């Protein structure tokens, strides 16, 4: 094993955690907003009605994929209890 191997592995691990998304809560899902409530919130914020995917992320957030008003793809993490946007990513 060369000296570079541990550096490469450390870089890969750091890259993996960077894309994991935010950590939202450890509260039980019984206290969370429902999928229907999150879809309504997403649409009320001005995003298109075409929610492509809604699921629970590894960080215990509601993660929604859809489109903004301009038609760009978005990936948004919502706090599952408050419904606040925790992180938003726009893709071209």
Assess if residue 2 is contained within a domain.
no
pLDDT of 31 over the 50 cut: yes
Q: Backbone phi, then psi, for 27, in 5-degree steps?
A: -65, 150
Residue where the block lists tokens 């994991």: 20
The pair of structure tokens assigned to 61 is 């957030």
Of residues 69 and 80, more confidence is placed in 80
- Look at residue 49 and tell me if it is in a domain: yes
**Mean pLDDT of the 19-47 span:** 91
**13: in domain:** no
Residue 84 is assigned to a structural domain of this protein: yes
Task: Give the global pTM.
Answer: 0.75
- For 39-63, the three-class secondary structure string (H helix, E strand, C coil) is HHHHHHCCCCCCCCEEEECCCCCEE
The answer as to whether 71 is a domain residue is: yes
Mean pLDDT, the chain, as a whole number? 82
Closest CA to 25 of 88, 74, 82, 76: 82
Contact 87, 42 (CB under 8 A): no
> Domain residues for 58?
21-91
Q: Identify the pLDDT of residue 19.
A: 56
Q: Does residue 52 fall inside a structural domain?
A: yes
Banded pLDDT at 58 (limits 50, 70, 90): very high
Q: Confirm whether 11 is domain-assigned.
A: no
- Residue at 50 is within a domain: yes
Q: Is the pLDDT of residue 6 over 60?
A: no
How many angstroms separate the CA atoms of 18 and 3, rounded? 24
CATH number for the domain spanning 84: value is 3.10.450.40
């Amino acid at each position: 094993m060369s000296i570079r191997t541990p550096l490469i592995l450390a870089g890969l691990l750091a890259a993996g955690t960077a894309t994991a998304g935010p950590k939202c809560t450890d509260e039980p899902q019984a206290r969370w907003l429902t999928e229907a409530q999150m879809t309504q919130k997403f649409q009320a914020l001005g995003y298109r009605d075409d929610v492509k995917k809604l699921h629970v992320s590894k960080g215990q957030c509601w993660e929604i994929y859809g489109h903004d008003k301009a038609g760009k793809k978005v990936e948004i993490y919502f706090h599952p209890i408050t419904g606040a946007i925790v992180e938003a990513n726009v893709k071209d």
